[in-house]
Amino acid sequence: MSWIDIGALDDIPAQGARLVKTAQGCVAVFRTAADEVFALDDRCPHKGGPLSEGIVHGAQVTCPLHNWVFDLNSGMAQGADEGRVTTYPVQVKGGRVLLDAARLRRSVAA
């Protein structure tokens, strides 16, 4: 994997998100109350809502537009027929958040 440093863990509020803009699109990086970190596409497949502006609860985020709830582990929407967003490998090392750049590039090419 090709990891890129996107900032300090402390830059992401607990139960909040940080938006990472890339040439391939925007990625929302979430931090749970338990300091777990997840990365998903920022765009809800339902109406394009910005997931980075959603409410984080447990290991889920609720879209701010129409309340679709997404699992931060899988990207699957609960109770939706065709709701899924792409997830990206992310890790925290030494208090820094790292995103897998190679995976980000592959998701656009596919």
In the chain the domains, ranked by start, together with CATH numbers, are 12-88 (2.102.10.10)
Q: Which residue is listed with tokens 């699992």?
A: 71
**How far apart (Å, rounded) are the C-alpha atoms in residues 46 and 79?**
12
Q: What is the pLDDT along the chain (110 residues), one digit of tens a residue?
A: 789 999 999 999 999 999 999 877 899 999 999 999 999 999 999 889 999 999 999 999 999 998 999 999 999 998 766 789 999 999 999 999 999 988 766 654 33
- The residue ranges of DSSP E strands in the chain, in sequence order, are 3-8, 16-22, 25-31, 37-41, 55-57, 60-62, 69-71, 87-88, 90-93, 96-100
Q: How many CB atoms lie within 10 A of CB 10?
A: 11
| Structure confidence at residue 106 (pLDDT) | 61
Q: What is the per-residue pLDDT for 97? A: 97
Q: Can you give the pTM of this predicted structure?
A: 0.90
